A and B are shown apart, each in its own frame.
Chain A
Amino acid sequence: METISYLLQQCVNGLQLGAVYALIALGYTMVYGVLRLINFAHGDIFMLGAFIAYYLISKFDIPIYLVFAITMVCTAAAGYIIEKVAYKPLRNAPRISLLITAVGVSLFLEYFLSLKFLFTANYIGFPRPFEVQVYDLSLFTVTNIQLIIFAVTAVSLVLLFLLIYKTKYGKAMRAVSYDQEVAALMGINIDATISLTFIVGAALAGVGGILYSIAYPQINVFMGIMPGIKSFIAAVLGGIGIIHGAVLGGLVIGMSEVFVSGFLSSTFRDGVIFIILFLVLLLKPSGIFGKRIEKV
């Protein structure tokens, strides 16, 4: 009984982390779909979201739904600007150049924001906008933070799926990721579609940033690196470029991380994620949902 309730408790905690990873992984997978680029700066947009929310909550006393809205707008703008300034000039460059640029953008955001007159490199306590409440469900407990994370993630996912599968813009995004040149021939505005992809991905990362810092209330300019890489691994696990794959991958990665911390040791949790990556790349590089058999 004891172990079962411990197991269930870890499941709930894993879902909490996995939901955040899923939100970030969606941005990675969408950008990879349209540009074939690992957008290393995506983890830093996630960090930016956490910091914007921190300032909104601690400096202006505004309701939480406005915090979400303003943060999403800000991170979406950041994603748009990064794409226009750094990635667009390299549209026809080799893929490695684009990748190195992405690494550069990521480092720039981290070190620029860590300057003394900006956010500094210190850990900052994130003010929770509400009190933590624990609901005891006999077998396991669930906090209101976890419920909020599940709810916000679910709503974001539904909206995203509606955008991608039910609107003209979503259709354009799918077309561009399927074949950019043919999509252009069909009269789809490639640049606008890529921008939209970045905007949507960055907005989701912003939401992820807020949720993550509510759950683990310590923020730092370098906080985006590891969740960013892990979310990318989640996207690879689910099948890069596949939307529902990213969600599943995020949940699996979050669960495995929590289970390793819970049953083994928290110092090994990063290592296990990378072992998962190696296994995926070796056994099925196209990921769980990937159909195309292609040597990556």
Chain B
Amino acid sequence: MKFFWEARKVILLAVLIYLVLKAVFGFQLLSQYIEQITLFSFIVILTSLGLNVIYGYTGQFSLGHAAFYGIGAYVSAYLSKSLGVDGILGFMPVLFLSGVGAGLVGYLIGIPILRLRDDFLAIATLGFGTLVRVILDNSDRFSEVLGGSRGFVGIPRITNLELAFFVTVFLILVTRNIIFSRFGLFWRCVKNDELASQGIGINTSRMKLMAFSYGCFLAGIGGALYAHLYTFLHPSNFDILKSIDFLIIVIVGGMGSIVGTIYAGLIWVGFIEGLRIVLPAEMLDLRWVFIPLFLIALMMWRPYGLIRKGG
């Protein structure tokens, strides 16, 4: 209860935002498409928050975040399809389990690779991402339901405004509390100076592993929500380029800033999906020409974040 009392202002704000959104979508002032991408933006925020915990707060560079997002999506889709889940109540344990599944994979893969630093960690996580992609592409060899490179079809559509919104808000609050707890402090210590952290008695490898698995847990939850929003999964949705999307959001929002990630996630989805409405189809490819240029410019002038300064 203390948890909710301390966050009462945020919860109040969240409820207000929820009511506004509910009214707007309830009276169908905006199209179905806008509703869909609004829900998608919550998922993107949640997943990017996971990467921000790993990279922004703990300083462990990961280029394989989309793999954990994909693991969450596939685990949840497999569970809900094989168990025949179709209501929100039945979906909650599935959601939790898929987050735990992604977190567990993150933990197991983190034990060996978190010994690496910087660019070697980048290439190892990138490698893991590609490995997951290969496994997903061949997943129909293990179970016909998973679909392999043809894609996973026929997932029940469960994610709605309430679920996506409140799960995201709840996990943002949890993350905020962890960040301001003892562990969050240790994570930031590890990021600033790993050797000095070791010197004052922080178990750095345990802290890195913890942050990494928690970040992957968030990605898994995001993936599960994604799977039940779009009802179709394809391995190509979870490749390297997707990981780079999340990385860009974290950097634009500011490394080690929850609020920045929220803004950046909204702007990102708005930009990518919004331009789809505004720009004619033949100009759409230009988005992907400007995003890398923007990323390069960001690295030259604001390497730790645009919206929040980060550090």
Contact = CB atoms under 8 A, between A and B. Distances in A.
Interface stretch (B23-31, B83-91, B134-142): B134-142
Interface in B100-151: 112-113, 115-120, 122-124, 126-128, 130-131, 134-135, 137-138
A104 B293 contact: yes
Contact of B251 (A100, A232, A236, A270): A100
Given A100-B295, A101-B296, A107-B244, A274 B289 contact: no
Contacts of A105: 292, 296
A274 B130 contact: yes
Contacts of B152: none
B300 interface: yes
Nearest to B112: A282
A26 B115 CA distance: 26
A112 B124 contact: no
B292 A115 contact: no
B291 interface: yes
Nearest to B239: A225
Interface string A266-296: 0110110011011001100100000000011
B293 A99 contact: no
B157 to A, nearest CB: 31
Q: Is the interface of A mostly helix, strand, loop or mixed?
A: helix
Contacts of B124: 277-278, 281
A89 interface: yes
Given A97-B303, A277-B123, A278-B124, A112 B289 contact: yes
Interface string B268-301: 0000000000000010011011011101100110
A233 B126 CA distance: 11
What 10 A-B pairs have minimum CB-CB distances, sorted nearest first? A108-B292, A111-B288, A274-B127, A107-B292, A104-B295, A271-B134, A104-B296, A104-B292, A97-B303, A101-B299
A84 interface: no
Nearest to B287: A111
A296 B117 CA distance: 6
B77 interface: no
Name, among A112, A116, A268, the residue most crowded by chain B CB atoms within 10 Å (CB to CB). A112
B289 A111 contact: yes
A17 B71 CA distance: 32
Interface of B: 61, 63, 112-113, 115-120, 122-124, 126-128, 130-131, 134-135, 137-138, 240-241, 244, 247, 251, 282, 285-286, 288-289, 291-293, 295-296, 299-300, 303
A296 B137 CA distance: 32
Interface residues of A, number: 44
Contact of B127 (A89, A108, A267, A278): A278
Contacts of B293: 104, 108
A229 B130 CA distance: 10
A37 interface: yes
B122 to A, nearest CB: 6
Contact of B138 (A111, A115, A267, A278): A267
A233 B120 contact: no
B134 A270 contact: yes
A38 B303 CA distance: 18
Name, among B123, B137, B291, the residue most crowded by chain A CB atoms within 10 Å (CB to CB). B123
A296 B303 contact: no
B299 A100 contact: yes
13 contacts: A36-B119, A38-B119, A90-B300, A96-B119, A96-B122, A97-B299, A100-B251, A100-B299, A103-B295, A108-B289, A108-B296, A233-B127, A274-B134
Given A97-B299, A229-B130, A236-B123, A107 B113 contact: no
Nearest to B301: A89
Contact of B285 (A99, A106, A111): A111
B289 A268 contact: no
A93 to B, nearest CB: 6
Contacts of B117: 295-296
Contact of A96 (B61, B130, B282): B61
Given A100-B247, A101-B300, A107-B288, 14 more contacts: A37-B119, A38-B123, A96-B122, A97-B303, A100-B303, A101-B299, A104-B293, A104-B295, A106-B292, A229-B127, A229-B130, A278-B127, A281-B120, A282-B115
A229 B293 CA distance: 22
Contact of A268 (B61, B63, B138, B285): B138
A99 B303 contact: no
Contact of A95 (B119, B127, B138, B240): B119
Contacts of B295: 100-101, 103-104, 107
Nearest to B55: A96
Contacts of A295: 115, 117
B58 to A, nearest CB: 13
A275 B63 CA distance: 17
B170 to A, nearest CB: 31
B285 A90 contact: no
A105 B244 CA distance: 13
Nearest to B127: A274
Contacts of A99: 61, 118-119, 122
Contacts of B296: 86, 101, 104-105, 108
Contacts of A63: none
B126 A229 contact: yes
Contacts of A114: 285
Contacts of A270: 130-131, 134
Given A97-B299, A285-B116, A38 B292 contact: no
